[in-house]
Every structure is written in C-alpha cells, then in structure tokens.
Amino acid sequence: MAEIKKVAVIGAGVMGAAIAAHVANAGIPCVLLDIVPKDAKNRNAFAEGAVEKMLKTKPAPFMHAKNARLITTGNLEDHLNLLADVDWICEAIIENPAIKRDLYQKLEGVRKPGSIVTSNTSTIPLATLLEGLPDSFARDFGITHFFNPPRYMRLFELVKGPQTRDDAIAALAHFGDVVLGKEVVRCKDTPGFIANRIGIYWSYVAMSLAFKHGLTVEETDALVGKPMGIPKTGIFGLGDLTGIDLAPHVNASMLRLLPATDAFPQAFEPEGKLVRLIGKMIEGGYTGRKGKGGFYRARGKEVLDLETGEYRPKQKAALDSVNASRKGLRALVEHGDKGGKYSWDLLSRVLSYAASLIPEISDDILSVDRAMKTGYAWKFGPFEQIDQLGTRWFADRLRAEGRPVPRIVDVADGRPLYKEEGEKAYYLTLSGDYAEIPVADDAWSLADKKRGKARIAGNRGASIWDIGDGVACLEFHTKMNAIDADILNMVKEAANLHKKGYKALVIGHDGDNFSVGANVGIALFQANVAMWPVLEGGIAEGQNIYKALKYSPFPVVAAVAGMALGGGCEITLHCDAVQAHAESYMGLVEVGVGVLPGWGGCKEMITRHVLNKKRPGGPMPPLATVFEMISTAKVSTSAAEAREMLFLRETDAITMNRRRVLADAKARALAMVEGYQPPKPVELNLAGASGKAALDIAVEGFALQGKATKHDVVVSGAVARVLTGGDKDITEVTTEDDLYALEREGFMSLIRTNATLDRIEHMLTTGKPLRN
C-alpha cells in the first residue's frame, strides 16, 4: 500500500478549499487548483482568494494559521505540472458529470502513475463519472465524500468502484482515518451514499410534518433537538445554518436519482406548503444565517410563522411531550400531545426508511449509525434509536398501523439490534445472527475496554480501569468532567497505582471534553459562608495531589480531547506526557471567574516558558507571555495552538482521530516505562518586584483604555505577583513549593473579594463571564 504523502485538491470552492486546509492541518503538503477566472489579472485568484478567506473564516478551517503555508495554490491551465508528484488528487469541482469527466481526462496526462483520484461528489454515481474513461483511470478512482465543514465533521464516506484497486481504497481509508482523523465509512455506490440518503429525507420530512401537525418552528426545534438527540439548533435552525437555498438543489438531485417507489419521492410534495415557503424565502433573500435570516432572524429573537410566513417574536415552546422525553424516546413518541404525535410520525418514517435501506446502502447497521452520528451529529444512530424504542414495540406499532416492518426489524424478532456479552459487543445482521463489532488495537474507546469488566476503583466522579498491558486508565465522569473532590480523590489513588503493580497511567475518557475546570459551585458556597481554612485546605490538597502525580514513580500520560480548561488543564500540565486530540482547547481560564490558577498552573507555565530554549533572553519575555496568557484567559483553538502556547511540550504528541487518542496515549505511556525517571524539581530566578511593577503598569494602561475592568486589574495584579516570585528578587531562587505557596496566597486574596464571588456566581448562573 502506497503511502499518501502529498495531496492535491482540485476546485477551491467552499468544500475543496476546506478539504485542502484540513489536509494541511494534518501536516501534509497540498496543492489547490481552480480554473482561471475570466479576464483575470491574477490567474490564481480563485485558489489564492479561497486560502485568504479561510484565514478569516469562523469556525476556522485551519487549526493554525501557519498551516496555510502548506498549501500551494495555482490554476488548472498553468500548474497541472504541480500534480506530477501528488499521491492523491481529490476533485471537488462543480457537480456536473461532463465537466468532471473533462477534468479527469486532463489529469490522465499529468498525474503520477499509481496515484489515486477521487471525487468529492455528493450525488453523482461513480459509474457516471467514469463514462468514457480508460480502465487505467478507473482502477485508481473512487469517491471520497467529506462533510461540511471538513475540519469539524468527522464523517468520510468512501466508495469503491467495481474496478478500483483494493490497495488504493486501503490507502485512502488509512489516510482518512489516521492522518485526517476522520470516521471512515465504506459506502456502496448508491444515491446520497449513506448519510445524505437518510439525512435529506429526514430533513425534508421533519420540516414538512411540522405543517401537518400544526407545530411552530420553536416547537419543532424543541422536539427535533435534545429529545431526539439532535444538536440544539433543531431542524429549522440547522436549515438556517447550512443555507435554505441548498435545499431545492439537494432535494432535486436526490429526486432525480431515486426510483419513484422510494420513500423520499413518495413523501415529497412539489407544491406543498414547505416547498412554497422555501421558494418564497429564497426569492426574498432569506437564505439563512448567511442571508437576511431564515426560519429565525435577529439573532434568534424572531421566528418565521409557518402559517402566515411572517416574522414574529420568538416564543418559548411549551410542550408536555418535550418534558416527557426525559424519560426516553418511547415516552416522547407515546405522548398524546401534538409534539408526541409529530415525533412518532417523524421517527417512524425515518427509522423505517433507514432500516429498509439495509442492505441497499450498507450491509451492516453499524456503518449507518456511524455515518449519521458523525455526518449529521446525531447523538444516536437510527438503529440505536430503534433499540431505544424496542424492536418488538416498534414492529408491533408499525404493524398495528398497517405499515410495513423493515426486514432487519423483522429479523430481530424482538431481540435488540445491538448487544453486549462479556467483553464484546455485537450487532445484528440480516441473516439473523449477531456479528462482533471489531475493536482495533490502535483505535478504541474506553467503553471498549470497560465492557464486561469491573473498575479497579472509583466513586461518583471518577473511575479507574485496567486497560491491559499493565496500564491503568483514570476516567472522569462528573458533569462536564469538572474536577471536584471525588475526582481529586481518585487522582490521588491513581498516583499510587504503581504499588498495585501498574506500569503506567493514562488519564482520559470518551467524553467530549477532557475537563472544563474545577467545579467552582462548592468553592463559591464555601467562600460565601467564609469558610476560609476549608477553602485554602482545598487548594493545598489539589496542589499536593497534582504534585504527587507529577513525581509518582511511573509514567502518567493525559489523553486530552476537547476542552481542558482551568483545573482540568492544570492536571495535564503535571503529567509526564500529553497525547492530545488535534481538537484540543486548552487554557488557564481562572481569571474569568476572578481567581488565578491555583493548582500549579501558574507554576508550570512560568517554568515552561522560562526554561524554553527557543525563547528570547532576559527575564521579561517569558514572564510577559505567560502573564498575558493567564490574565486574559487565552484558550488554544487547537492542539497546534496549544503547542505554541506550551500547554503542550515538544515531547507531547497530537492524534488526529479522536478514536485513537486513548490508544496512542497508552502506547506512549508504555514506551516511557523502560528506564522511567520522575522529573527533577526545578528552581527559577523570577523577575521579582520590578517585573511586577512593569506588568502592573501595562495593566493600568489597559484599564485606562477601557480594555481591563476594575477587577481585572486586581486579578491581574495577583497573577503578576505569583509569576514574579512574590517578595523575592531576581537574585533569589524560587522553588516549586514557593510557587505553590504564592498561588495559594493569591487565590485566597481573590476569593475573599465580592467582585470575584460575583464573577463565579454569574458564570454558574448564566454560563457567561461577568466583566466587573
């Protein structure tokens, strides 16, 4: 299998450019070509413009601005030669088979023998694309279908043609998975592949049924949101996000390709209220968030009335069925109000449809669930949802309503579609037998390791698991994985696992966020009732526990993904190594709630920056950097940025695929076992009072310009005092324990102020920082 070391993307539209950006995010050089604009002065304007625009786009397609430098831009007339050494050419041009085929003909002359070509088409069948092309091309050709935005959406649909080389597909699968970090789902060459086939139908039905059941936009989105495991934008909100004008196009192409007997053309009403409303909206420029508004406008304060087509103030949806859904999906669809009826109408159609497409679009249910979860961000795939309803109950109700029961549900005959037995998990196949869900050695989730096992230790907030080969894993499971006393107790226990014969420890879990920080609710209450010794004891306890972790006699590796903030970031700073998912958002954000990092965050960051060999000389530059980072609560927007900020060291590593983070962390931990030495304590000479004075002056400047609030000045002052070593001057040595003591002192001075307590309360009650 040839490794893909260089990539080209043809077509610098939204999708193509963002794919190129993501290839660059993976550290792979990428050529980006587009046509020459008519009468252009700059013949590369399209590709160059796209890269420039992406540097300003939010959410950012690039994980780091410098990644843009990995993209070589050009045009299809002057720069085809750039393709000569490319291993994979990904075509993402206009959805027109003739134009695509033309391009492929051109490529045939220039591309390197054995290189792979794929199309990012969402709807054109592979066979159509290959018409008139030589077998040599067909053997190197497949479809790779990304989801927008490619950096963030994890699904990567991969379609093999009848002639496609197996090793080409294997190379793409490996590249998509390991290098790009995507969830690779093999699809058949059917219209819309898996995700869009179901998703486009779902989206149309979810919207049009709202009219039938007399639901408002708000009510619909309240149902097609959390209750159904859909992101909280709901269905109309999602439409606004992706663009209303997209709907007619995707609907039309699906309708063109699908047989008339398919459920989508059956359900589609070309003259229906929905289609007419959308037509009217597009005409008026109401194309969603990018236009004058969509189903919502004025930042969500106004909503389109589905009956009148006029905007009106948003009303909070008050449906009993939404409350009932907390008891589960079945409680939702069994509820008697209009929300319950709508939900059954929608879910019964969508789940039946998905089930009826086995084996047409996929032989196994697993791929379908994975595709919907990673391509449409559904919390549960359609087959998981059927299991939630119960296959028996679902089948019975369909039968009672005189509707067909899909084969896979019939085959289940009351058995669940998924089951777990011992340490293994299984899914049901059309044959009626269960097949094992394979777990690769180098890509697994903690759930795979926990299955059928008892934890080594644990409490309400955290658990410790044996993940094999003498390695233990400390899992957090508080709300948002906020650090509380329970977690601290388990960290303490985990740091001693070497006594039980464990060789190494991984700290990580399957959650979206590693940890959002310390749970400040309890601290706030304690501070409010002036329990100062208890509070200070809590800080000291956290410091001691993190310190013990750092100096424990075996390697500790943090497996970070998502947010690692505040106290959650501080724990990673005390680990021997961090294996970070590329989407890691790390930062010491304590000042947002008016305190400073008190569990060694100030200490670790000033130490790292002072000892950083690449930094400029003198005591001030590292001090200024760390001070700015902490006093403005800077958070990295990716692991790449975290590395630049030194939240990650050079020795720390980044994993692109979320499902590989734990496995990589474990491997890293094992690699450190041999000859492991705990770190040596360091001593620093910090800038002292004069350094603090310089920082104070800077902060006062910000205050005068209105960039820092009154309390920002106080909090920054406390941070500055810690980072400069307190009362010591530059000739005196500051130890790790000195810094811990300074952190405690600074924390306590702040937590006693009203302004800090107001900040914490505000954060806890509104989720937003208070600028006081």
Partner 1 sequence: MPSYTAPLTDMRFVLHEVLKIQNYANIPGFADATPDTIDAILEGGAQIMQEVMQPLNQIGDREGCKWNNGEVTTPAGFKEAYKAYCEGGWPGLTADPEYGGQGLPHVIGIALSEMMCSANLAFGMYPGLSHGAYEALHAYGTPEQKAMYLPKLVSGEWTGTMNLTEPHCGTDLGLMRTKAEPQADGSYKITGTKIFISAGEHDLAPNIIHLVLAKIPGGPPGIKGVSLFVVPKFLVNADGSLGARNGVSCGSLEHKMGIHGNATAVLNYDGATGWLVGEPHKGMRAMFVMMNAARLGVGIQGLGIAEVAYQNAATYAKDRLQMRSISGTKFPDKPADPIIVHPDIRRMLLSIRAFAEGGRALGLWAGLMVDLARKHPDDEQKKINDDMLALLMPVVKAYFTDYGYESATMAQQVLGGHGYIAEWGMEQFVRDARITMIYEGANGVQALDLVGRKMPEGFGRLLRRFFHLVSGYIQDNMMDPDIGREFVQPLAKAFARLQTATGFIAEASLKNPDEAGAASMDYLRIFALTAIAFMWAQMAKTAAEKIKSGGGVAGKDFYETKIAVGRFFVDRMLPDTASHLAKLQAGAKSMMALDAANF
Residues forming the site for partner 1 (CB under 8 A) = 521, 524-532, 752, 754, 757, 760-761, 764-765
Calculate ∠ Cα 690-692-695, nearest 5°: 115
- Residue 522 C-beta: closest distance to partner 1, Å: 9
Q: How far is the CB of 538 from partner 1 (least distance, A)?
A: 13
Nearest to 711 by CA among 673, 756, 645, 749: 756
Q: Which is nearer to partner 1, 145 or 759 (CB)?
A: 759
Return the bridge partners of 434, or none: 428
Nearest approach, Cβ of 521 to partner 1 (angstroms)? Answer: 6
Q: Which two tokens stand for residue 583?
A: 């989407």
Using CA atoms of 118, 122, 127, 130 in order, give the dihedral in degrees to the nearest 10. -40
CA 211, 213, 216, 217 torsion-angle sign: negative
What are the tokens at 671?
A: 């690699």
Q: Which two tokens stand for residue 318?
A: 């008050």
**Amino acid identity, residue 97?**
P
Amino acid symbol at 53 = K
Strand partners, 144: 158
Q: What would the two tokens of residue 521 be?
A: 């609710």
Residues 6+ apart with CB under 8 A from 694: 620, 687
If the CB atoms of residues 169 and 760 are measured against partner 1, the closer one turns out to be 760
Residues in the chain: 772
Closer residue to partner 1 in complex, CB, 320/360: 320
d(CA 394, CA 372): 20
* Torsional sign, CA 716, 722, 724, 727: positive
Closest distance to partner 1 from the beta carbon of 751 (Å) = 11
Residue 532 CB, nearest distance to partner 1 (Å)? 8
Q: What are φ and ψ of residue 651, in 5° steps?
A: -80, -10
Nearer to partner 1, 529 or 704 (CB): 529
Q: Which CB sits closer to partner 1, 581 or 759? A: 759
Provide, rounded to whole angstroms, the least separation between the CB of residue 364 and partner 1: 45
- Sequence-ordered list of residues with C-beta below 8 angstroms from that of 446, at least 6 positions apart, any chain: 465, 467, 473, 475, 508, 509, 510, 662
Of residues 668 and 762, the one with the C-beta less far from partner 1 = 762
Q: Where are the strands (E) in 647-735, listed by range?
A: 653-655
Beta bridge partners of 91: 10, 119
Select 373 or 759, whichever has its Cβ closest to partner 1.
Answer: 759
Residue 173: closest CA among 103, 113, 116, 108: 116
CB of 106 closer than 8 Å to CB of 82 = no
- Residue 107 tokens read as 């490529």
The three-class DSSP label of residue 82 is helix
Nearest-approach distance from CB 485 to partner 1, in angstroms: 11
How far apart, in Å, do the first and last CA atoms of the chain sit? 59
Cβ 761 to partner 1 shortest distance, Å: 5
Considering beta carbons, is residue 108 or 761 the nearer one to partner 1? 761
- Tell the smallest beta-carbon distance from residue 754 to partner 1 (Å): 8
322-329 CB contacts, 8 Å cutoff, 24+ apart: 322/222, 322/223, 322/227, 325/223, 325/226, 325/227, 325/228, 328/388, 329/227, 329/228, 329/385, 329/388, 329/389
DSSP secondary structure string, 592-622?
A: GGT---TTTHHHHHHHHHHH-TTSPSSSHHH
Structure tokens at 480: 């948002």
Nearest distance in Å: CB 462, partner 1:
19
Q: What DSSP string runs through 704-736? A: HTTSS-HHHHHHHHHHHHHHTTTT--TTS-B-H
Q: How far is the CB of 756 from partner 1 (least distance, A)?
A: 11
Question: Of the two residues 733 and 764, which places its CB atom closer to partner 1 in the complex?
Answer: 764
Query: Which of residues 436 and 532 has its CB atom nearest to partner 1 in the complex?
Result: 532
CB of 526 vs partner 1, minimal distance in Å: 8
Q: Considering the complex, state which of residue 518 and residue 663 has its C-beta at the smaller distance from partner 1.
A: 518
Residue 763 CB, nearest distance to partner 1 (Å)? 10
Signed CA dihedral, 296, 300, 306, 312: sign only: negative
Nearest approach in angstroms of CB 525 to partner 1 is: 4
320 or 423: CB nearest partner 1: 320
Q: Choose between 326 and 752: whose C-beta lies nearer to partner 1.
A: 752
For partner 1, give the closer residue by CB, 35 or 763. 763
Q: Of 194 and 527, which CB lies nearer to partner 1 in the complex structure?
A: 527
Contact criterion met (CB below 8 Å) for 457 and 464:
yes
The two tokens of residue 654 are 């980044």
Task: Quote the least distance from Cβ 633 to partner 1, whole Å.
Answer: 21
In single-letter form, the type of residue at position 56 comes to: K
Nearest residue (CB) to partner 1, 158 versus 757: 757
* Distance in angstroms (rounded) separating the CA atoms of residues 143 and 163: 12
With 0-12 / 13-18 / 19 or more C-beta atoms within 10 angstroms meaning exposed / middle / buried, residue 424 is middle
Q: Please state the closest distance from residue 726 (CB atom) to partner 1, in A.
A: 23
Alpha-carbon distance of 759 to 538, in angstroms, equals 20
